Amino acid sequence: MIGGQLVARYLMRFQVAANLADVERAEVIARSVLRLVSDTAGAYARLGVVYLTQHKFAAAYAAARRAVAWNPRNQGALGVLFDASVAIGRYGVAESTLSRLTPGRLPHQLRLAHMLTMRGRIDGAYHALDHACRQLALAQVSPQAVAWCLTELAKVQHAREGEPSAAALYRRALDVQPGYRAALEGLADLAYARGDWVEAGRLFQRIAAEAHPDLYLRLAEVHRALGEQGVAERWERAFLCVARAPGAEALYAHPLALYYAGRPLTLDTALAIARRDVARRPAVESYDVLSWVLFRRRDLAQALAMSDRAQSWGAPSPTIEYHRARILYALGRASEAAALLRRALARPSLLEPHVLWDLRALRTAAG
């Protein structure tokens, strides 16, 4: 009991302060109590949550499977198994696991919303997640848990109704938990997408931390847009220092591969990272990153094949559709590409940062 409480406390501290030492302590405790507790399923489920927080997805999947083996009805264990299955691209396992969660209970509501989002059923996802947020608020759980739910709801609402509605929910999350990092990041992303570089930089600066080096890249891009090249280069070096550290590649493979793919001299490095990531984590996002790297290398046939894999399950994101449109244009399939591009650009703020920069470069080249 005490061990589980300590794990939860360290994870909450990590979410607030982004201090890697907290999640490392949580892992040590979660592993140490495995043989000491009577609730073995719960102990392995907690360990799985720690691994998910660290982006150790294969380890999280293994821990979740052990938890469910000990107690096939443990809702927490089933929830972690769902999360880990999605993370490593085992979507069939995720679907079957969702069917084993008890309808109406919070673990089911949260995963149902996630599944509906991935399937492109945004209205259903919004209502399922809104119900979950209301359940959390009524249960008088920690403000941080409610803020997390509202932040996830904001992401769904962004796709459903647009930027103003999403921003309102991010601000609600900050009212519940002042300074909540994920809500600040959401507002920063919206400012970044609309080109409000000063506001984006101010918000990203508040939450920049070694545990999230992708934010260092955002700050580099913001300062480059502001014409502050020296500051931008310092943030890039900070990103590379963390993302290229021994053992770090698995944690930051996507931003690292995309960073190298944006530079002609490091395309081979980008390809190696993206291929290793697919081997570790054959999820649609990993195949999509690989497709973009291959496109940047002008290996168009392979890029299209990987794009096919990225679209093999669920509803493709605007970024996935943009990548595919660029590949199809390069292959001379302009009519197919145009239809995809119209959908991808319908709400540019949903596109990932490297796509926004690619669009900017195309507009500059076109004069």
**Amino acid found at 29:** I
Rounded to 5°, angle at Cα 11 from 136 and 245? 135
pLDDT tens track for 223-274: 999 999 999 999 999 999 999 999 899 889 999 999 999 999 999 999 999 9
pLDDT surpassing 90 at residue 140: no
- In this prediction, residue 2 carries a pLDDT of 61
- In this prediction, residue 1 carries a pLDDT of 54
When pLDDT is cut at 50, 70 and 90, the band that residue 38 belongs to is confident
More confident residue, 233 or 24: 233
pLDDT tens track for 62-78: 999 999 999 999 999 99
Mean pLDDT (whole number) for 45-72: 95
The Cα 166–Cα 187 span in angstroms is 9
Of 256, 303, 305, 298, which Cα lies nearest the Cα of 276?
256
Collapsing DSSP to helix, strand or coil, 328 comes out as: helix
The Cα 210–Cα 241 span in angstroms is 9
Q: If you search the block for the tokens 């119209």, which residue do you land on?
A: 342
- In this prediction, residue 40 carries a pLDDT of 87
Collapsing DSSP to helix, strand or coil, 263 comes out as: coil
The Cα 211–Cα 193 span in angstroms is 23
Enumerate domains of the chain plus CATH numbers.
1-101 (1.25.40.10), 102-195 (1.25.40.10), 208-243 (no CATH), 247-359 (1.25.40.10)
pLDDT tens track for 119-139: 999 999 999 999 999 999 998
More confident residue, 316 or 6: 316
pLDDT surpassing 70 at residue 3: no
Q: Which CA distances in Å does 266 have to 237, 288, 293, 296?
A: 15, 18, 10, 11
pLDDT tens track for 318-357: 999 999 999 999 999 999 999 999 999 999 999 999 999 9
Query: Which range (34-38, 169-173, 244-248) has the least confidence?
Result: 34-38
| 8 A C-beta contact, residue 25 and residue 10 | yes
pLDDT surpassing 90 at residue 37: no
- In this prediction, residue 39 carries a pLDDT of 80
Tell me what percent of the residues of the chain surpass a pLDDT of 70.
99
pLDDT tens track for 180-232: 999 999 999 999 999 999 999 999 999 999 989 999 999 999 999 999 999 99
